[in-house]
Amino acid sequence: MNSIVAIVGRPNVGKSTLFNRLVQRREAIVDSVSGVTRDRHYGKSDWNGKEFSVIDTGGYITGSDDIFEGEIRKQVNLAIEEADLIVFVVNVEDGITPMDAEVAKLLRKVKKPIFTVVNKVDNAMREPDAIEFYNLGLGEYFTIASINGSGTGDLLDALVAEMPDPEPFDADKEELPRFAVVGRPNAGKSSFINSLIGKDRNIVTNIAGTTRDSIDTKYNRFGFDFNLVDTAGIRKKSKVKEDLEFYSVMRAVRSIEYADVIILVVDATRGFEGQDQNIFWLAEKNRKGIVILINKWDLIEKETNTLRDFEAMVRKQIEPFTDVPIIFISALTKQRLFKAIETAVEVFEKRKKKIPTSKLNDVMLDIIKSYPPPATKGKFVKIKYCMQLPTATPQFAFFCNLPQYVRDPYRRFLENKLREIYDFSGVPVTVYFRQK
């Protein structure tokens, strides 16, 4: 389970610049998801072998300071509840402002690791000016210049030192699969869960979930056994600035990171909207299994090709990762609910599938021989060997003489072949090229 780092602070202290630095430090870092909302405020990062998520609570505040003092308080409280570590950014040019003092007051009561970061210390002359930030009562601080990155290495070292060591992946460890039911509000997530569990409620225990709004339900019927994670609805960023829907976004991030398979419930009457797509890409970035349920299908006027056209429209929106099961259901009339769960279980099994190296080479090297990577700048790439990496999700390494000359279309070609031959439907597959 990755740690979540939240960046807090008042507007214009450089939170977003720091966020961009943290999530794009090295090639190993997955780019920020094109927002959980339209903005880019959620990203994955890794440092010294520890992967973690970064959330910038700041990009949601615009407008004058006084209206948004309440908003900042709301966001700091949310970060305190949901994140594992908190980075509090202040700015050496302004010194301690009343709003900084207000945020520090909230943070002083918190039992989680807090890192005070004094930004815009871009030369040695400014170092002494940072001393006044001891007055915030949060102990030691880090001085950085997020614009050029100086000081961020020390901050990252300190952050990851507070994070637990990653558990070694153990393929044999039998744990119940965790399915998170996500989607925008009113898509029918709760009806779906209630229809599944039924009035007789085959619940063994109600485990308090990751957050107050995610409830885990142990489900065992029809020969299936898994944990169902119900998430509070993910809402679109509201048009009204005061009513910032940062909450559901952060909660969704938690639930998605915490699950094995994401069941994305979509309201058929509204189509597959931007918010649905954002949730989809969030799950894909986290390398989760994905099943898309088109709910309320009973309310749609049907013609000959209605279903086919709707499915084609969804697949168009999720290119290039189109190999995802899409099931049309009605939580109300219980249509195809069993199929939905059966598919989620299949996706879970596919996600942990392991292919023996010798068999993989027999099959893939033949394909590569028939369709070698095209030459780039007169350089010929020779792929000698491939293997599946010992990771929790399907990742493959292809060893060759010139990995830097393999282009994206060829990477996708190999990924599609792996999907086709080994049936990885609904599971993100990662292909790496390494020097032999």
Superfamily of the domain at 3-162: P-loop containing nucleotide triphosphate hydrolases (3.40.50.300)
Whether 263 and 181 have beta carbons less than 8 Å apart is answered as: yes
Residue 172 annotated as binding site: no
Confidence of residue 212 (pLDDT cuts 50, 70, 90): very low
Residue 230 annotated as binding site: yes
* Mean of the per-residue pLDDT values of the chain: 78
Residue 119 annotated as binding site: yes
Same fold, 3-162 and 357-435: no
**Can you name the residues that pair with 87 across neighbouring β-strands?**
7, 115
Confidence of residue 169 (pLDDT cuts 50, 70, 90): low
Residue 12 annotated as binding site: yes
Whether 254 and 247 have beta carbons less than 8 Å apart is answered as: no
Residue 235 annotated as binding site: no
pLDDT at 415 over 70: yes
Residue 120 annotated as binding site: yes
pLDDT at 95 over 50: yes
Confidence of residue 173 (pLDDT cuts 50, 70, 90): low
- The Cα–Cα gap between 96 and 151 comes to 20
E strands within 161-313? Answer: 178-182, 203-208, 215-221, 224-230, 261-267, 289-295
Least confident range of 218-232, 268-282, 385-399: 218-232
Residue 357 annotated as binding site: no
Whether 60 and 68 have beta carbons less than 8 Å apart is answered as: no
Residue 187 annotated as binding site: yes
Residue 381 annotated as binding site: no
Whether 390 and 399 have beta carbons less than 8 Å apart is answered as: no
Model confidence pLDDT, tens digit, residues 240-282: 333 334 555 566 677 787 788 999 999 988 888 877 887 888 8
Confidence of residue 395 (pLDDT cuts 50, 70, 90): very high
Residue 223 annotated as binding site: no
- The Cα–Cα gap between 5 and 79 comes to 9
Whether 185 and 247 have beta carbons less than 8 Å apart is answered as: no
Residue 373 annotated as binding site: no
Which pLDDT does position 197 carry in this prediction? 72
In this prediction, residues 128-137 reach a mean pLDDT of 87
Q: Which long-range contacts (CB under 8 A, 24 or more apart) does 366-375 make?
A: 367/414, 367/417, 368/414, 371/413, 373/400, 373/405, 373/406, 373/407, 373/410, 374/407, 374/410
Confidence of residue 391 (pLDDT cuts 50, 70, 90): confident
Question: How many residues can be counted in the chain?
Answer: 436
**Can you name the residues that pair with 206 across neighbouring β-strands?**
217
Which pLDDT does position 251 carry in this prediction? 61
Domain ranges of the chain: 3-162, 178-351, 357-435
Which pLDDT does position 168 carry in this prediction? 63
pLDDT at 325 over 90: yes
pLDDT at 198 over 70: no
In this prediction, residues 185-201 reach a mean pLDDT of 70
Whether 318 and 280 have beta carbons less than 8 Å apart is answered as: yes
- The Cα–Cα gap between 29 and 211 comes to 26
| φ, ψ (nearest 5 deg) of residue 387 | -155, 155
Residue 233 annotated as binding site: yes
Residue 372: what residue type?
Answer: P
C-alpha dist (Å) from residue 179 to 188, 359, 364: 16, 31, 32
User: Structurally, what CATH architecture does the domain formed by 178-351 represent?
Assistant: 3-Layer(aba) Sandwich (3.40)
Domain 357-435 classification at class level: alpha beta
Least confident range of 78-87, 168-177, 388-397: 168-177
Residue 183 annotated as binding site: yes
In this prediction, residues 1-22 reach a mean pLDDT of 82
